[in-house]
Amino acid sequence: MKILVTDQAGVDHELEGLEGWRVMEVIRDWGLNIKAECGGALSCATCHVYVDKDWLDVVGAPSDEEEDMLDSVGDVRPNSRLSCQILMNDALDGLKVTLAASAAKD
Partner 1 sequence: MSTEITTDVVVIGAGPCGLFAAFELGLLDLKCHFIDILDRPGGQCAELYPEKPIYDIPGFPVVTGQQLTDNLMAQIAPFSPEFHFNRMVNSIVKQDDGSFDLTTDADEVFHAKVVVIAAGGGSFQPKRPPVDGIEAYENKSVFYSVRKMDDFRGQDVVIVGGGDSALDWTLNLQPIVNSLTLVHRRAVFKAAPASVNKMQELVAEGKINFLTGQIGKLDGADGQLTHVHLTTDAGDLAVPATRLLPFFGLTMKLGPVADWGLELNDNTIVVDTEKFQTSVPGIFAIGDINAYPGKLKLILSGFHEAALMAQAAKAIVAPGERVVFQYTTSSTKLQKKLGVA
Residue 95 Cβ vs partner 1, minimum distance, rounded to whole Å: 23
Nearer residue to partner 1 within complex by CB, 59 or 100: 100
The CA distance from 12 to 9, in Å, is 9
The CA distance from 98 to 79, in Å, is 10
Rg (CA), the chain: 12
Nearer residue to partner 1 within complex by CB, 53 or 105: 105
Residue 68 Cβ vs partner 1, minimum distance, rounded to whole Å: 5
The CA distance from 2 to 5, in Å, is 10
Answer for which of 24, 44, 49, 92 binds partner 1 (CB under 8 A) is: 44
The CA distance from 75 to 48, in Å, is 9
Number of residues that bind partner 1 (CB under 8 A): 22
Summarize as ranges the residues that interact with partner 1 (CB under 8 A).
35, 37-39, 41, 43-44, 46, 67-68, 70-76, 100-102, 105-106
